Every structure is written in structure tokens, then in C-alpha cells.
Amino acid sequence: MLLIRVDANVAIATGHVMRCLALAQAWQDAGGRAVFAMADSTSAVDWQLRTAGIETIRIDAISGSAADATCTADLARKCNPDWIVADGYHFSSDYQRTLKRTGLRLLFLDDNGHAQHYSADLVLNQNLHASESLYRNCESYTRLLLGPSYAMLRREFRGWSEWHRVVPVVGRKVLVTFGGSDPDNVTLRVLDALQQVRIEGLEVTVVVGGSNPHLASLEQAAAKLAHPVRLVGNATNMPDLMAWADLAIAGAGATCWEMCLLGLPALLIDLAPNQLQIAQRLDTSGVGLHIGTSRDFSPQTIASKLEAVLGSVDHRERMSQLGRQLVDGMGAFRVISSLRSDGPRQPNSRIM
């Protein structure tokens, strides 16, 4: 069994839960069972976990607190899982040590090396900027899983690894997606920018996450837009929507790896500080185009960049090819293989 400690709310958003769900689904497909332990969640996340056949247990403590760590450790002792999995920036070095005192094995999902010390058995960082230098302060037994080859995608994406994208001479289909919550309503500002785009026949699909509190304002804005706009609430067919689109405007979170698999070029906006390095590295590698943070991007910049990229088949083809080279959809299974590996451990080894 996997005991997965992760949270979701409007502020945290759902990216951490979605990659943990991908891991849980791969574990289920390998014949195992996964249980989520959560102090914070949303109704949309709860529904998605139930639909996946995953049990959820509530942690009655402030997320990331010493009481949270103690409750999670007590739960782990009762459940005796094969692995404890922890994913969240509020889980500190002390939190890891408390979980390790159970005597159980710990997988820690990380993005920016935020903890001062790592005592987990495995540390997974699926980002392009992942490097051993982020994890110099770790135990001798800690192993590192680094890079997009470990990008964990949910079950619905698995059948798309061999799909071929046809890149039109002029792109006209735009997908807008900013995760499960979008607390700052970046989507609304992007809709304002789309009003300035001068491409004949432009079509827009906007994904409104299940935890997004701004549906009413988005409906009003979409009705006024000169281009046809389709709002999709709490989408369950993201691969189909990504396959439909010629270009995306998206947050620089876990969605990036899904777009890479589908070869979908994207304009990226970092919605939180932890997404900045992801956006920058995808930009410098030619996979995406970073156009700013959620607080300082310009609608005029979005409109001009969108017109330029939609009008350049060469640019979109290159972005599409580079994205597909990064992510093959097998990341979750590589992680499962590492969890189930019985081979001898090498101190501070990096698993490729």
C-alpha cells in the first residue's frame, strides 16, 4: 500500500494532488492499493479521488505542523504501508524526520529543494532544473529521481504517447488552462487579451477547474468576446482538449508535462514563485514561451506573442517536437519501478 500525504485548496491548487494521483493509479495498475491522507481538500478533488477508487483519510491538524507529522506517522504505523509519500512545500525537514522514525520508507516529492535537509529514502524532482546540487544536505541512503523522465501523468494520458500531432500552417485553436483553482482569476485577464488577437477563425476553449471560484465572471467575459469561446468546467477529457488545440496559454505547473506529451506548444505564465524556474527552463529549452508572472504579464504581450506563434508553423513544430522528446508518459511507472526495486542502495545515487 502507498500512504500519500498531500493537500489541496484554492491557494495550494491541485497540481500536487494530480501528480500523486498519477502515482497512485500506476501503483493500482501494478496491483497495489493507495490511500490519501489529507488535511485540506476540495469537493472537486474528493470527487476525483473517489472516482479513481482511492480512499481518503482526514488529518485533523494544521497542514505541515508538528501535530500533522505526528498524526501522519501514527496513521502510517497503523496502516503499515509499503511506502509513505509526501508532497507539499509545507513539509519540512522535521516533518520528514518524524515520518522516518516510523521505520517505514519515505518518498518525498519536491520541486525546488525547499527543505534544509532530506531524510527521505527517495526524493523525486521531475523538473528540468532538477539537479543534485539542490540536495547536498541529505542522508547517505537518500536516492534522487531527477528530471522530466519521471514526470508522472494520470491514466488518461497513457494512450497518447504514439499519437501524431498535425501542425497547421496557421494555428487557430487556443486552449486556456490555469489548473484546478486559479485564485487570482488569471483566466479572466487572458480572455481580455484574446479580444485583441487579430486572427480570422480563432476558436478558444477555456478549462475552468472544479475549485475555481470565478465561473460567473468568466461566463460574462466569454459572452462578450468576439471570438467563439467554449467553457469546460472540471474537464475530464484533458488529453482530447490538448489534442484539439494548436496552442495553449497555461500555468507553468504540472500541466506542462501533459502538454509536452501531447506536443502542444504553450505560452506559459507562472502562477506562483515555485513555477518560475519551470517556465524559464522550458523557455530556454525551446519547449514553451514564458510571458511573465500572474501579476505582471501584459494583455498586449499575450496578444502579440499569440499572433506570432499561431502564424509560425516552424515555431510551433519545433516546440512540439522538443516537448515530446522531454516526456514519454512512462514517468509514473519508472517511479513505481524504483519503489519496488530490491537492489542494493548506493549512497546519494541519482537514478536516471
Which one-letter amino acid corresponds to residue 36?
F
C-alpha 115/C-alpha 231 separation (Å) is: 39
**Residue 329: φ, ψ to 5°:** 85, 0
Residue pair 49/25 in contact (Cβ under 8 Å)? The answer is: no
Taking alpha carbons only, the member of 248, 188, 195 closest to residue 214 is: 188
Residue pair 243/235 in contact (Cβ under 8 Å)? The answer is: no
| pLDDT higher than 70, residue 230 | yes
Neighbouring CB atoms inside 10 A of 242's CB total: 26
pLDDT at 235: 83
Q: What percent of the chain is modeled with pLDDT above 70?
A: 95
Residue scoring higher pLDDT (12 or 66): 66
pLDDT band at 341 (very low <50, low <70, confident <90, very high): confident
Axis crossing angle, helix 15-29 with helix 43-51, rounded to the nearest 10:
10
Residue pair 286/319 in contact (Cβ under 8 Å)? The answer is: yes
pLDDT at 293: 87
| pLDDT higher than 90, residue 239 | yes
What are the residues whose beta carbons fall under 8 Å from the beta carbon of 273, sequence distance 6 or more? none
* Alpha-carbon separation of residue 79 from 3, 26, 42, 75 (angstroms): 8, 20, 24, 6
pLDDT at 219: 87
C-alpha 245/C-alpha 338 separation (Å) is: 35
| pLDDT higher than 80, residue 56 | yes
pLDDT tens per residue across span 212-228:
777 788 888 888 888 89
Average pLDDT over residues 326-350: 76
pLDDT at 221: 87
Question: Strand, coil or helix: what is 258?
Answer: helix
pLDDT band at 348 (very low <50, low <70, confident <90, very high): very low
| pLDDT higher than 70, residue 349 | no
pLDDT at 233: 84
pLDDT tens per residue across span 100-148:
999 999 999 999 899 999 999 999 999 999 999 999 999 999 999 999 9
pLDDT at 262: 98
Which one-letter amino acid corresponds to residue 340?
R
C-alpha 88/C-alpha 330 separation (Å) is: 23
Neighbouring CB atoms inside 10 A of 198's CB total: 8
pLDDT tens per residue across span 184-217:
888 888 998 998 898 999 999 999 877 777 778 8
Across the chain, the runs of DSSP E, i.e. the strands, are 2-6, 34-38, 55-58, 83-87, 105-109, 122-125, 143-146, 173-177, 203-208, 229-233, 247-251, 266-270, 288-293, 350-351
pLDDT at 351: 46
Residue pair 239/262 in contact (Cβ under 8 Å)? The answer is: yes
Neighbouring CB atoms inside 10 A of 110's CB total: 25
| pLDDT higher than 70, residue 295 | yes
Instruction: Tell me the average pLDDT of the chain.
Output: 91
pLDDT tens per residue across span 145-164:
999 999 999 999 989 999 99
pLDDT at 106: 98
Strand 143-146 and strand 122-125: the pairing is parallel
